Amino acid sequence: MEKIELGNTGVRVGQLGLGCMQMGTATDEATSFRMLDAFTDAGGDFLDTADCYMWWGGPQYSGGESEQLLAKWLARNGNRDRTFLATKVSGLPVNVPELHASGLQGEEIWANVRFEGAGADTVRRGIDGSLKRLGVEHVDLYYVHVDDRKTPLEETLAALAEVVAAGKARFIGWSNVRTWRLDRVRQLAAQNGWPSPVAVQQRYSYLPQHPGTNHTSSAGEEMLDYLRDHRDVSLVAYSPILANLYDSPDPQGHRFWPLYGNAKALDAVHTVAKELGATANQVALAWLLKRRDPQAFALMGPRTWEQFETIVPAIDVRLSDEQFQHLEDSA
């Protein structure tokens, strides 16, 4: 598995990361361990989780289950020094019991979430809680998960600086953030000598988001252009296959079609997939791994072993220059 540099840190990390969101809830322990073992055996080292994963998995969950499962796996294998471990703060709701009791589902439940935010006390408690659940002394990358517009950035950044100075995190990152906010974070960090984000985690895939629907969580053209000029921040792309949109039997009925639907681009993916004897999901992921402007890490988040088996082969899919250009021209 190819390793690329994270920002300008000098640290090289596997370009394909394993999103561990559903591990310990929707994905049972045995299956999670099987995926983690296979991923690391294939040369992977980038593991991504968060303190809120996965409170919405059912009324019996409150968040932190993914971190607890990873702690068991790390303790069993004794391979902490061979993993690049990322977790996050600010995305845990303060009203989880209320949400569970509400009976709301889907978009309705998310509309009623009250996030804990990224205040200094939350950041300090958050990192200590994550380290305890993970059973480790430090994480490699610590994200602000949900950009908090109510808390002064200075407060959040100063607290993150404490976390790094204490050796509890090596680097910081930001997620679900507007480009102008990311730039403001970087300016304040530079002005005050605080650690600056080396990664920004956004939803990003081959199918571009429709103009006028640029959500905070997505890396649109403005952010991509920004990252081309600021190579010290790496893009970490989540949902790179858009919940299997590319291989969906009914793409126009898929939940992401209203945001990402593009018949011409999707047809190009299927054409290249047929040429290579690959799946459309694998081609979309291979495109992302081959792209260099900007270069990005890709996070896959399989729920089942079968999904894992169909995604991982993408690292061996080799797009020719002609196929890559055909995809570029069709998007």
Q: What is the pLDDT of residues 310-330, one digit of tens each?
A: 999 999 999 999 999 999 999
Q: What is the mean pLDDT of residues 8-17?
A: 98
Q: What is the biggest distance separating any 2 CA atoms in the chain, rounded to whole angstroms?
A: 54
DSSP state of 90: S
pLDDT of residue 123: 98
Q: What percent of the chain lies above the pLDDT cut of 70? A: 100
pLDDT at 213 over 80: no
Q: What is the mean pLDDT of residues 156-184?
A: 98
Structure tokens at 7: 């920002």
Enumerate residues 6+ apart whose C-beta is below 8 A from 203: 215, 217, 218, 219, 237, 238, 239
pLDDT of residue 66: 98
What confidence tier does 1 reach under pLDDT thresholds 50, 70, 90?
A: confident
Q: What is the mean pLDDT of residues 238-251?
A: 96
Q: What is the mean pLDDT of residues 199-222?
A: 90
pLDDT in tens, 36-88: 999 999 999 999 999 999 999 999 999 999 999 999 999 999 999 999 999 99
In a domain, 262, yes or no: no
Q: Which residues pair with 174 in a beta bridge?
A: 144, 200
CA 65, 66, 71, 76: dihedral to nearest 10 degrees?
Answer: 110
Structure tokens at 113: 């979430």
In a domain, 251, yes or no: no
In a domain, 145, yes or no: yes
pLDDT of residue 99: 96
pLDDT at 215 over 90: no
Q: Which domain covers residue 40, as residue numbers?
A: 3-246+288-316
At position 226, the amino acid (one-letter code) is Y
In a domain, 57, yes or no: yes
User: pLDDT averaged over the chain?
Assistant: 96
Phi/psi at 236 (nearest 5 deg)? -110, 110
Q: Which residues pair with 201 in a beta bridge?
A: 175, 236
Q: What is the mean pLDDT of residues 122-151?
A: 98
Radius of gyration of the CA atoms of the chain, in A: 19
pLDDT of residue 196: 98
pLDDT of residue 211: 81
Enumerate residues 6+ apart whose C-beta is below 8 A from 69: 20, 23, 24, 29, 32
Peptide bond into 21 cis (omega under 30): no
d(CA 305, CA 66): 17
What confidence tier does 241 reach under pLDDT thresholds 50, 70, 90?
A: very high
d(CA 129, CA 51): 8
d(CA 275, CA 198): 37
- C-alpha distances in Å from residue 247, one per residue of 53, 59, 260, 300, 331: 26, 31, 14, 15, 17
User: How many domains does the structure of the chain reveal?
Assistant: 1
pLDDT of residue 25: 98
In a domain, 258, yes or no: no
pLDDT at 186 over 80: yes
pLDDT of residue 272: 98
Number of Cβ within a 10 Å radius of residue 205: 24
Number of Cβ within a 10 Å radius of residue 275: 14
Strands (E), the chain: 3-5, 12-14, 16-19, 46-48, 84-89, 139-144, 169-175, 199-203, 234-238, 296-300
Residues 156 and 148: beta-carbon distance below 8 Å: yes
pLDDT at 212 over 80: no
The CATH number assigned to the domain holding 173 equals 3.20.20.100
In a domain, 269, yes or no: no
pLDDT of residue 165: 98
d(CA 303, CA 322): 33
Distance of CA 99 to the CA centre of its chain: 24
In a domain, 329, yes or no: no
In a domain, 254, yes or no: no
pLDDT of residue 294: 94
CA proximity to 200, closest of 209, 184, 208, 190: 184
Residues 216 and 257: beta-carbon distance below 8 Å: no
